[in-house]
């Protein structure tokens, strides 16, 4: 509960203080799961005039459990691919949301608004396919709640 309260305060502060959030980057280490799900959810729930992208500091490949978990909501991220943060034009980004929890979050160089959503690694401590999918569902649902709160804050700012 404390995490959600801090997030809501931070988001409201950013939005109420004139933070521009028209080009949002979701950032994590591998850009294989959490940031990919956040990108898909943001494209689905945020206004169409907001540009959404994701990247990682050590990009790998799209996780199939992330694809499955998102498909359960009717959101197709199967064409997404992992991207390196250094390949992005930092001048086009005005808000960065990091999604790491246990690991060290990547750094984004640039003058941007910064938010942090500490989402646990979905595969941590899980071995069977059902356990893995459940971990990704949990992460997806946490990210979805953050996205919906962000959408609400942004709509109030307009």
Give me the catalytic one of 19, 21, 25, 28: 28
Q: For residues 106 and 28, is the Cβ–Cβ distance under 8 A?
A: yes
Burial class (CB in 10 A: 0-12, 13-18, 19+), 49: exposed
Would residue 14 show up in a list of annotated catalytic residues for this protein?
no
Largest CA distance in the chain: 46
Would residue 100 show up in a list of annotated catalytic residues for this protein?
yes
- HSE at residue 150, side-chain half, CA atoms within 13 A, is 31
Sign of CA dihedral 23, 76, 55, 88: negative
Q: For residues 14 and 115, is the Cβ–Cβ distance under 8 A?
A: yes
Only one residue has tokens 């997806």, namely 140
Give me the catalytic one of 101, 105, 138, 157: 105
Nearest-angstrom CA–CA distance, 6 and 99: 15
Give me the catalytic one of 41, 85, 93, 100: 100
Would residue 28 show up in a list of annotated catalytic residues for this protein?
yes
Any idea which residues carry the catalytic annotation? 28, 100, 105
């Amino acid at each position: 509960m404390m995490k959600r309260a801090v997030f809501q305060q931070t988001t409201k502060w950013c939005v109420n203080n004139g933070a521009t959030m028209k080009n949002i980057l979701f950032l994590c280490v591998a850009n294989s799961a959490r940031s990919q799900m956040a990108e898909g959810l943001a494209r689905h729930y945020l206004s169409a005039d907001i540009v959404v992208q994701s990247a990682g500091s050590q990009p790998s490949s799209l996780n199939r459990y992330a694809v499955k978990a998102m498909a359960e909501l009717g959101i197709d991220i199967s064409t997404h691919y992992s991207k390196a943060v250094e390949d992005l034009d930092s001048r086009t980004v005005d808000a960065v949301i990091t999604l790491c929890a246990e690991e060290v979050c990547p750094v984004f160089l640039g003058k941007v608004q910064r938010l942090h959503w500490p989402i646990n690694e979905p595969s941590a401590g899980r071995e069977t396919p059902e356990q893995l999918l459940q971990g990704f569902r949990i992460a997806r649902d946490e990210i979805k709640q953050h996205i919906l709160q962000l959408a609400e804050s942004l709509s109030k700012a307009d």
